[in-house]
Amino acid sequence: MLPLPLDACLRLCETWGLTVLTVVHESFGAASALHVAEISTPELQPGEVLIRVKAAGVSHADLLQRQGKYPPPPGASPILGLEVAGTIEANGPGATRFQIGDRVCAVVAGGGYAEFCAAPEAQVLPVPENWDFVEAATLPENLFTVYDNVVTRARLQAGEAILIHGGTSGIGSTAIMVARALGATPYATAGTDEKCEAAKTFGAEAAINCRSADFVESLRQLTGGRGADVIVDVVGASYLERNIATLALEGRLCMIATLGGATGTLPIQKLMRVRGTIIASTLRARTPSEKGAIADRLQRQIWPLLPSKKFIRPLIDHVYPLAEAAKAHERMESGAHMGKIVLSL
């Protein structure tokens, strides 16, 4: 799907209509295409709240959407941005959980790069104590994704070993911290020695430079030959065979992105020998009730851990003003970032 021309995108956005960053067709896919446009505020649907956005997280999915490779789900805002933090501006019909002015953060299917963002209230959580808006904007997409895959689906247990690829990304750093908070032992891969050292400061027991070492052999040595009980993979095809070779007995491989390709060779016999499980999922297209179920579990198990910032803390690479979203995208595309990139309003 190609990026929409500006006038078409504005017509689509009239329902949500914010001061937004959007992709213009003339510059097909380039970060420089992002610019601010003014349109009307969103019309809330039943069960939605209007958030006055103070900060918005930047994710790899935003880059893909800007390039025309990841269209929003049907009915979702075509505006970029999957996570926000701010204050409740208004409640739609039937929305009763929050009061006007409450400090909140939310995962959304689109619309985050804006002054105002509509969100199903089921997907909204309070900003934790001792977290400001920029810090809180790093939480929703990362924690919803990590918790659902690592805790709910892969059933990570205390004492287990987890290998996290891309350990200095927003998802990777969050997975390290959540694993450590739950009593598991996190290991990470990264592309430079500097990033490996950073991953260890996030809580990784050890970090493997995947460009200069074989992570399969390295992880086996680090775990006394056992391998990883859980693997969090954002690479996909090019890592598939090696991930299977790294799994411990009854190991679980969580596939959440395909940066290294979407089609690979599955060594079925190796998977059978370790009685392994492959888990694959995406978050964006799920219903508000499905995301709300994740939010409920997060609020019970993870949110009480956040005020102390002991295990899970904000890891922010850079903060850009909303009007400099192009620079934020360029920073993420460079691969130099460590932690989360955030837009501030």
Average pLDDT of 20-36? 61
Residues 161 and 267 both lie in one domain: yes
Nearest Cα neighbor of 156 from 173, 190, 181 is 181
Q: Which residues contact 8 (CB under 8 A, 6 or more apart)?
A: 25
Parallel/antiparallel/unpaired status of strands 277-280 and 247-255: parallel
Prediction pTM value:
0.90
Which residue range forms the structural domain that includes residue 312? 6-138+284-344
* % of the chain with per-residue pLDDT over 70: 92
Whether 28 shows a pLDDT value over 80: the answer reads no
Angle CA 184–254–298, to nearest 5? 60
Strand order in the sheet with 185-190: 206-209, 185-190, 161-164, 228-233, 247-255, 277-280
Average pLDDT of 238-265? 95
Q: What gap in Å lies between CA 117 and CA 325, rounded to an integer?
A: 17
The 10 Å CB-count burial string (b at 16+, else e) for 279-290 is beeebbebebee
The mean pLDDT of the chain is: 91
Residues 34 and 128 both lie in one domain: yes
Q: Where are the beta strands (DSSP E) in the chain?
A: 19-22, 35-38, 48-58, 83-91, 103-107, 116-120, 124-126, 161-164, 185-190, 206-209, 228-233, 247-255, 277-280, 316-321, 340-344
How is residue 188 written in tokens?
Answer: 């990470």
Q: What gap in Å lies between CA 88 and CA 48, rounded to an integer?
A: 11
Residue 163, beta-bridge partner list = 187, 231
How is residue 31 written in tokens?
Answer: 């970060």
**Domain boundary pick from 280, 297, 330:** 280
Element (H, E) at 28: none
Domain total in the chain: 2
pLDDT, tens digit, 9 for 90 and up, residues 34-64: 888 776 788 899 999 999 999 999 999 999 9
Q: Are 128 and 135 in contact (CB under 8 A)?
A: no
Residue 303, beta-bridge partner list = none
Element (H, E) at 154: none
- Asked if residue 1 belongs to a domain, the reply is no
pLDDT number for residue 169 = 93
pLDDT number for residue 27 = 56
* % of the chain with per-residue pLDDT over 90: 83
Residues 266 and 332 both lie in one domain: no
Q: Are 71 and 23 in contact (CB under 8 A)?
A: no
- Asked if residue 111 belongs to a domain, the reply is yes
Residues 68 and 179 both lie in one domain: no
pLDDT, tens digit, 9 for 90 and up, residues 88-134: 999 999 999 999 999 999 999 999 999 999 999 999 999 999 999 99
- Asked if residue 273 belongs to a domain, the reply is yes
pLDDT, tens digit, 9 for 90 and up, residues 205-236: 999 999 999 999 999 999 999 999 999 999 99
Residues 11 and 51 both lie in one domain: yes
- Asked if residue 98 belongs to a domain, the reply is yes
Q: Which residues contact 289 (CB under 8 A, 6 or more apart)?
A: 122
pLDDT number for residue 211 = 94
CATH number at residue 102: 3.90.180.10
**Domain boundary pick from 226, 252, 280:** 280
Whether 81 shows a pLDDT value over 80: the answer reads yes
pLDDT number for residue 221 = 97
CATH number at residue 185: 3.40.50.720
Residues 181 and 265 both lie in one domain: yes
**Domain boundary pick from 236, 254, 280:** 280
Q: How many residues does the chain have?
A: 345
